[in-house]
Amino acid sequence: MTGTIRYRIVFILLLLCGSLFALEKNQLFLWNVETEISNIYILGSIHILNREFYPLPGKIESAFEETDVLVIEVDINNVQEEEILMLIFQKGVYTDGTTIADKLNDEDFGLLRNKLEELQLPVDAFLTFKPWLIAMTIQSLNYNFGGYDAAFGLDMYFLEKAGNREILELESMEYQLDMFIDMTEELQIAYLISILTDDSYSEIFLEQAIEFWKAGDADSLYLLMHPEKWSTPLDKELFQIFFLDRNILMADRIESYLETGGNYFVIVGAGHLAGEGSIIDILNARGNKVIQIFE
């Protein structure tokens, strides 16, 4: 059974179960936690969407209107592009004559060549890129279909509506880049191969994730994101870096807002709110009462 067929079957089963549950309870991918001095809404984001995704449910919009601080993973409007590009090319490019062909076996390099040709990109232009930079580039281009674009993501949608709200970051662009830069070469290659071979970076996966978001179904999203692909030691390490470690740090930051007071609207990737070890899981385990919101 191919990966695509497997994902379609899983999607249908989860959607049938999850959607029936969601229709009964009419839940949103939105949570609330509050203290006597703070009120925080936490919205799961899909970073890449298209125009057809909108408008949003009214309860999400009204929750946003209650707040005066917008919190996102990275404020793209605050990024110094020239500095970031300089950092990427300083840390992401071989300068000693090494090429990616020296780092991959023949089979894996063939996968890379095929993917670049599929994306109509010149293979030679990527030869001096390190595995993490190639993977990150391909991942961003994999979703370039059906009008999907980061410009339509929930982060950008609310950034454009922020008005006079204070804008805070849960992370920073430098921090997110360091995740890739600090990987061992073995882990970088594992990440690249996963991008080249995994259906999780495809149109069908994104569409499945959107359906679960619309149903407010975090459990099904977690199952979609956490299949047997995370079973090898290297895959588990990637999941630890991309999700679990970051969830702890972001939960720490959100919990600090509960202590400082104010009305916050937090937007974080939906995958960080789903399943064991998620931000919601961590906050509840620490004694906070995080409640999912219903339309």
pLDDT at 58 over 90: yes
Measured over the CA atoms of residue 95, residue 96, residue 100 and residue 103, the dihedral's sign is negative
pLDDT at 49 over 50: yes
Q: Residues 7-23: what's their mean pLDDT?
A: 42
- Measuring CA to CA, how many Å separate 5 from each of 27, 36, 65, 203, 225? 28, 50, 42, 13, 16
pLDDT of residue 229: 54
Q: Residues 239-256: what's their mean pLDDT?
A: 96
pLDDT of residue 236: 86
- Burial (CB count within 10 angstroms: exposed 0-12, middle 13-18, buried 19+), residue 154: buried
pLDDT of residue 155: 95
Strand, coil or helix: what is 34? strand
Calculate ∠ Cα 117-122-124, nearest 5°: 120
- Measuring CA to CA, how many Å separate 234 from each of 136, 137, 184, 241? 17, 21, 11, 11
Binned at pLDDT 50, 70 and 90, residue 286 comes out as very high
Q: Residues 108-130: what's their mean pLDDT?
A: 95
Binned at pLDDT 50, 70 and 90, residue 2 comes out as very low
pLDDT of residue 45: 96
pLDDT at 32 over 80: yes
pLDDT of residue 223: 87
Binned at pLDDT 50, 70 and 90, residue 112 comes out as very high
C-beta separation of 70 from 169 below 8 A: no
Closest CA to 71 of 269, 265, 253, 273: 265
pLDDT at 18 over 70: no
Q: Residues 220-238: what's their mean pLDDT?
A: 78
More confident residue, 140 or 4: 140
pLDDT at 13 over 50: no
Looking at every residue in the chain, the average pLDDT score rounds to 88
pLDDT of residue 77: 84
